[in-house]
Structure formats: C-alpha cells, structure tokens
Chain A
C-alpha cells in the first residue's frame, strides 16, 4: 500500500468529518471501555493473590522435601543438622527475581492465659525481615508488631485474644511439644493484636520472634522450617520456584513451592476469575465490534455513488479495495489512539485511587482471601494489546466486505444509486 494511497484515504476520511467522528467515537469509546474492564479484572485478581499470599504465605516457600504440608517439627531445612541460614538467604536473594526472603519456624501448641487456653499455630519470624515479604504488620489493631527489643513479645489474632481474655501487655504461657520430645513452655507478653478478616488467622495464629520460638521448640539457630520469598513480579512465581529449586538443590535438599501450589484454592479462584473475565470481556468486545461493523458498513454504503464515480474515471477494483482498507486502517489507528487517550487517565485513576465499593463496611473475606473495600485497577498490557488488535482486525474485516462489494459494482449502476 503506497503512501499516496494512505494520504488519499486519510483525506477521504475527513471529507465527511461527522461520519468519521461517529465511527471514531464508536471504536475509541469501545476500546476505552475494554481497557477499563481489563484493568479492573486484572486488579481484582492481583488483589486476591496479594491478600491471599501477602499476610503470611508470601509468593514462594522453601521447605525440606518432606516438610509440607504436615509440618512435623523435626523436618527442618538441612535435616537434623540444620543449615547455614544466612548463606541460604544469600543464595536465594542472589536471584534477581527475588525481592526479599525471610526465614520462618513453625510450631503448634497451647496458648494459656489465667482462665482460658486455646490450641494455636505458632509462627516464628525475624521481626525486621518478615515485613519485607508479608504485610501482617499493617493489620495491627492494638499494640505493636514484633520488635527485636522485645524477644518475649508475641502478636496474636484479635479474636484469639478475646477468646482467652488477654489484652496488650498480658502475660501468657505457651506450651508446645518440642523437637526433642520435651514439653517446651515459657512465659510471654502480648505485644499486639492483629485483624486480618480471615478467621483461621484471627483465631488461631500466634506470631513471635524466630529465636524465641526456636528456643521454645529446642531447635538450634541453624534449624528453620521455611524461607518465605517475595518476588518482584508474582506472575513469575511458578517458573522462579522451579529454577530456584534446581539451584538450591545442588547443595541442600529442598522443595520450592510457588503460591498456586501452597494455596490451591486461591489459584482455583484466580482461574475462575480469569474465565469470568474472559466471558465479560468477550461480551464487551462483541458490543464494540457491532458498533464498528455498523458504522463501517454504513460509511461504505453511503459512498456507493462516490466509489462508482472513481471507477468510472478509471480506478481499478483492486485499487478501490485498497483505498477502503487503507481508510479503515487509518480510522482504526486514529480511534485506538483516541481510545487510549481517553482510557489512560481512567486507568491511572483506577490504579492509584481505585473504586471505593464497600463504603464504610470494610473488607470482605472471599475464598480465603480478603478483598476491598477499595477495588484497585492493575495494568494488563497483554490484554490491552490483544483488545487493540482485535478491534483493528474487526474494523478491517468489516470494511473489507463492503469494499469487495463496491469493487464489483458496475460504475453505471453505482452512479445511479443515490
């Protein structure tokens, strides 16, 4: 297609600005709408994944091969002898995809206050390292998160605290079967309580410093159960997990699991959301397509006489087709630019401010994750590009049909049409 043809096509478009603007509006607004939907859906998925993985899970977890999911206390990384934790962390963070890594120790036991006790999961973390991988520290409702200055401080769910009747500052006893079979027991102080909206955690999780839990479980410092890993880009989790497992496996028997394996119900929900998004997106796409096909068809049919004239003065049918396709292409290009220009501020707004759907009602818990109340958008450039290509192809195809028809016109007949 020559430049002259495009130039001619472009000029043709603006010979009837009103018609062209209507077509551009149909397509541009359709594209902006698709951007909006894609952005919101990607945002919802992201928010679900983040809230599902962000509180305690993180994006990936490194365990000893037989540790997960039963979590027996003696199955530490490196077996009975343990491992050099700082060297392991260094090896993990050496991967450029890894943003942060934090060591963890797990136990289960009994938290006992003056009058009540309850069975809980104990999670030992490094107070100034863990917040780089997870966000539990942002969910504190009373008191404060763990600090290095309070080695015997613990943080627990607000519902657990209410059940056993303790406040910030209360003393509690933790009792747990230690790794060597003895009964680990000691006194701790409640440093703070958190509220995540997830009942399991709010009722059954006690967080404490890694060193304190190791002491309670009678595990030496080199024995940890898990390294939680935060990635720069969570979408690379599965691939990174496999690569890291191969890399670390050279020196230490490990299994590295990405979040879809650690939280399969979350992955199921994300896949479900993806399918729902696809269906919704397809409906919006069809709406946009219909608008475009309609305006393109009308534009060509309206110009039957004009095309007949061109052929009467010697334009060949192939040239007519080329001209019309060129017109459609330039129209589509201009419309997509217009749509993107309209959509960009909208997408920016969704990402930065989000839509407040919940009002004052707070977040809701859904399929084990907490969502909302503000629905943030998330840029999904793959879908944006696919939508743009889809619309452009639609425009071309819907122009091609009337163009081919026009090319078959006998000039005399075409001229007779109004």
Chain B
C-alpha cells in the first residue's frame, strides 16, 4: 500500500508543479506593465501631499490631516497636523527602516515590524500600506482575469497570485482597471483561504502636476461584517458581501493637494526633522 500512497503524492506534486508553471506562463508582460504602472501612480522623483483620512469605526469616528513628503519609494516622511491629540506625530522611512516620533513622550522610536502591520491611527490602513515599497511585480504572478463591463464601466481585472517564495500576507489580490484611461477602480485583498478580507476603491480622478490620479481612496474591511451580511442576503452585490450601510466601517483617504517633482531638501528625510 505504501507505494500507492507515494505515487499519489508524486502525482499531486506533478500536478502542482505543472499548475505552478501554467500560472507562471500566464503571467503576461502587458498585464505586468499595466499593474506596475498603476502601482506607481503616486510615486515620483519627489512628492509633497496634504492628505485627509476620514475614519469610521464601530466605536469612533475621526478625521486626521497629514502631510506627506516622499522621494522615490525609499524616503517617506509623514507628519500628522490634526487633530490636536495626535498633532506632531511623525513617521520617517529611510530605506527599510522606519522611525516614529511621539510628541507626548517626546521620543523617537524605531518601529518594530509588528507595529507596521497594525492599524495606523485607528484607520483601516496599516503603516505598511502607506510607506512600504511596492513589490507587486516581484512578489506576484500577474494575469488578466476578466475583461468587460462592471457597474457600467469597461474594466480589465488583473489577478495577482503570490509567487511561492514571496513573503506576502495576501493569498490573492485582484485589481480592476478602467479600460478608458487605465485608472484603478478597485483593489481586493484575499487571505490565504481565498476569503475576501478588504477592498480598496478609487474615485475622483484628477489631473495634478500633469498626472491623472485618483484622489479619493476608500478602504473597507470585509471580513468582520461577513456574519451580519449573510444573515440577510441583501448585502450581496456582484458577489461581494457588503456591510449594511449604517455600520459601514471604512477609511477614506482624500488627497487635498499634491505636488509632484517639486524640490525637497535633503534634510527633510533626516531623523532630526522628525520633531516638528
């Protein structure tokens, strides 16, 4: 009996290998380029932005106003301007190190990896979401998975499947891009069991410093509200469970002002500059 088990395992292994190769082969160059371009929409030589974050949670609502400075992908500085209780809090990323300045304690602290994955300022974004370098094309196999109209808009959906060696938290990401202007519409994050965990939607596309970008990003967690939504199937919209409107948990990021490729001094990204 043992040899049979062995051969089954080998058979499964072969299937898995060939499947891996198939999905590898499905990774087409145009898809890869499109996704890469979209992922780099906000990245440029330099950028200075004023960003509002409107957070709605079960237990509180708050609005945070922040200023972003960036140079390429490796240097980022974020400074919180309001509300009063968090004003002055600042994040500095240089290379792969991140520091945080805490105004009340008047201390600068190196951020441990665990905190990079936690909710940032009570929002539905993690610090990793905001400052981590984009590695989509390195970490994922990318393939177009749908083409057609969704909500009356012609879109192409790309599916990103993590490569075997990639150290990523998601089991799958899908990205919908408008065919008309190649703008992102919706990005969905699935966990390793294939369950939809959160959804990022883009809107209010504007041309800023000669670039067309979405200026409103809405992040919604979709895992927590699953039970509520499935209780009455009214929450089902194009196959996605949405929470009932009165309990929408979400974070809306709005770009109030953004300047690309303006001058930024070298000192901006120094630890000295963390303190206001």
Question: Cβ of A177 and Cβ of B118 under 8 Å apart?
Answer: yes
Tell me the B44-103 residues at the A interface (CB within 8 Å): 55, 57-60, 62, 83, 85-86, 89, 100, 102-103
Tell me the A250-282 residues at the B interface (CB within 8 Å): none
State in angstroms the CA–CA spacing of A72 and B55 once bound together. 17
**Given A112-B109, A179-B59, do A173 and B122 touch, yes or no (CB 8 Å)?**
no
Question: Cβ of A117 and Cβ of B112 under 8 Å apart?
Answer: yes
Question: Cβ of B102 and Cβ of A180 under 8 Å apart?
Answer: no
Instruction: List residues of chain B with CB within 8 A of the CB of A110.
Output: 109, 112, 114-115
> Residues of B within 8 Å of A, CB-based: how many?
27
> Residues of A within 8 Å of B, CB-based: how many?
21
A225 to chain B: closest CB distance in Å? Answer: 14
CB-nearest residue of chain B to A174: B105
CB-nearest residue of chain A to B109: A112
Question: Cβ of A183 and Cβ of B121 under 8 Å apart?
Answer: yes
Q: Answer yes or no: A140 CB below 8 A from chain B CBs.
A: no
**Given A110-B115, A119-B114, do A182 and B106 touch, yes or no (CB 8 Å)?**
no
Q: Answer yes or no: A314 CB below 8 A from chain B CBs.
A: no
State in angstroms the CA–CA spacing of A180 and B86 once bound together. 11
Question: Cβ of B86 and Cβ of A183 under 8 Å apart?
Answer: yes
CB-nearest residue of chain B to A118: B112
Q: Answer yes or no: B272 CB below 8 A from chain A CBs.
A: no
State in angstroms the CA–CA spacing of A175 and B99 once bound together. 13
Q: Answer yes or no: A185 CB below 8 A from chain B CBs.
A: yes
Instruction: List residues of chain B with CB within 8 A of the CB of A117.
Output: 109-110, 112
Instruction: List residues of chain A with CB within 8 A of the CB of B59.
Output: 72, 74, 80, 179
Question: Cβ of B105 and Cβ of A185 under 8 Å apart?
Answer: yes
Question: Cβ of B62 and Cβ of A180 under 8 Å apart?
Answer: yes
Question: Cβ of B85 and Cβ of A218 under 8 Å apart?
Answer: yes
Main secondary structure on A side of the interface with B: strand
Question: Cβ of A177 and Cβ of B119 under 8 Å apart?
Answer: yes
Instruction: List residues of chain A with CB within 8 A of the CB of B123.
Output: 181
CB-nearest residue of chain B to A187: B105
Question: Cβ of A175 and Cβ of B55 under 8 Å apart?
Answer: no
A399 to chain B: closest CB distance in Å? Answer: 65
Q: Answer yes or no: A84 CB below 8 A from chain B CBs.
A: no
State in angstroms the CA–CA spacing of A32 and B58 once bound together. 63
Main secondary structure on B side of the interface with A: loop
Q: Answer yes or no: B228 CB below 8 A from chain A CBs.
A: no
Question: Cβ of B112 and Cβ of A180 under 8 Å apart?
Answer: no
Question: Cβ of B60 and Cβ of A179 under 8 Å apart?
Answer: yes
Q: Answer yes or no: B107 CB below 8 A from chain A CBs.
A: yes
Q: Which one of A72, A175, A179, A185 has the highest number of Cβ atoms from chain B below 10 Å of its Cβ?
A: A185
**Given A180-B60, A180-B62, A181-B55, do A175 and B109 touch, yes or no (CB 8 Å)?**
yes
Q: Answer yes or no: A302 CB below 8 A from chain B CBs.
A: no
Question: Cβ of A182 and Cβ of B85 under 8 Å apart?
Answer: yes
Q: Answer yes or no: A186 CB below 8 A from chain B CBs.
A: yes
Instruction: List residues of chain A with CB within 8 A of the CB of B104.
Output: 184-186
Which listed residue, B86, B110, B112, touches A182 by the CB 8 Å rule? B86
Question: Cβ of B62 and Cβ of A112 under 8 Å apart?
Answer: no
Question: Cβ of B121 and Cβ of A181 under 8 Å apart?
Answer: yes
Tell me the A72-112 residues at the B interface (CB within 8 Å): 72, 74, 80, 110, 112
CB-nearest residue of chain B to A218: B85
Question: Cβ of B107 and Cβ of A173 under 8 Å apart?
Answer: yes
Interface of A with B (CB < 8 Å)? Answer: 72, 74, 80, 110, 112, 117, 119, 173-175, 177, 179-187, 218
Interface of B with A (CB < 8 Å)? Answer: 55, 57-60, 62, 83, 85-86, 89, 100, 102-107, 109-110, 112, 114-115, 118-119, 121-123
8 A-B pairs with CB atoms under 8 Å apart are A74-B59, A80-B59, A112-B107, A119-B114, A175-B105, A185-B104, A185-B105, A218-B85
5 A-B pairs with the lowest CB-CB distances in the bound complex, closest first: A181-B122, A74-B59, A185-B102, A173-B105, A187-B105
Other A-B contacts than A173-B109, A175-B109, A180-B85, 19 sampled, CB-CB below 8 A, are A72-B59, A80-B59, A110-B109, A112-B109, A119-B114, A173-B107, A177-B118, A180-B60, A181-B60, A181-B122, A181-B123, A182-B62, A182-B122, A183-B89, A183-B102, A183-B121, A185-B104, A185-B107, A187-B107
